[in-house]
Structure 1
């Protein structure tokens, strides 16, 4: 007895339609009379629609059936379709080739974003904000260097790299970096103190109001008792 296993048969393009529908589509390609082939193709479309009666009310139901017909024929069926005939390129589009970045990073441990920020900052006019931003970048460079080398470099190395990466147009000294760092810490401390003070005052206000309400209730209770 001959055994006919599915893995030995032709691969189904759309398994949800079954092998019999695929055999019908294959038979269409063998019909030489074009008029007969068109009539038989419409008959196959009707059979395919009967397999999914719940989808008949959808707007593009017929369009999908015709597309599936051409897919099952591997886009080789020559019939007159009421819709645009799809192609393999449209169904399986080839993605556009992505260009690999060719820009070489001078100092990889800082990353490309540092280079981009310095490229913008070096053209900015001299101001306190520019100095503040440069110091923030310097501290970020120090953190990135630690991630890469597992050790913190001294400020002299960071500031030297900062000047080199900005074409010597951003030049800050160590005193400026330390002063701005200390000002940042002091402002951060003051902000926390103000928040804590505001939270404490608000809490005390609630506590006093609660105590006043409790005292008023006790006084009212005593008067009622008398």
Structure 2
């Protein structure tokens, strides 16, 4: 309102009255994180999820969490690389990111690449409409 009235408005306000000079001041720079992401195609969230999974006690909940993380890693991988990805590659990356703390059982099957790609394709088609 002060700007619209060319700073001539006289009202009581809980905020400080802005000055014409403050309108053209350069804002303070936003500090950005200096956090280096190891595998950028997976993102920072995957690394945080892996840290949480390492803290879990061994049991069925931890195994389910590992499976969910691995499936999400596969989905993230396929977002940037449209080719079919091998599950062993995801398991190896999971092992590297966890420092060997998370080991996937040999009989674990992840979602098929074509299923993930077809879901992504359907979502893109719906957004276009």
How far, CA to CA, are the matches of 2:38 and 2:47 in structure 1?
9
Greater Cα radius of gyration, structure 1 or 2: 1
Deviations 1:137-160 (A, max 9, x none): 111111111111111311111111
* 1:142 is aligned to 2:90: no
| Deviant stretches of 4+, over 3 Å | 14-17, 61-64, 85-96
**Structure 1: stretches of 5+ with no match in the other structure:** 1-13, 18-47, 49-60, 65-84, 182-226
How far, CA to CA, are the matches of 1:90 and 1:155 in structure 2?
59
**Structure 2: stretches of 5+ with no match in the other structure:** 112-129
Deviations 1:109-161 (A, max 9, x none): 11111011001111211110000110111111111111111113111111111
How far, CA to CA, are the matches of 1:174 and 1:90 in structure 2?
66
* 1:173 is aligned to 2:105: yes
Q: Give me the TM-score of the superposition, normalised by structure 1.
A: 0.40
Relative to its length, the structure with more helix (as a share) is 1
* 1:88 is aligned to 2:36: no
3-state SS of paired residue (2:11) = helix
How far, CA to CA, are the matches of 1:168 and 1:89 in structure 2?
59
**Deviation, structure 1 residue 97:** 2.2
How do 1:18-37 residues align onto structure 2 when only pairs under 5 Å count?
Answer: none
Q: Are the equivalent residues in 2 in contact too, given 1:163–1:171 (CA < 8 A)? A: yes
* CA 116–89 in structure 1, closer or farther in 2 if over 3 Å, else same: farther
Q: Are the equivalent residues in 2 in contact too, given 1:155–1:174 (CA < 8 A)? A: no
Instruction: Tell me the matched-pair count.
Output: 106
Q: Give me the TM-score of the superposition, normalised by structure 2.
A: 0.66
Deviations 1:164-214 (A, max 9, x none): 101111101230x22x87xxxxxxxxxxxxxxxxxxxxxxxxxxxxxxxxx
CA-based RMSD of the aligned residues comes to: 3.4
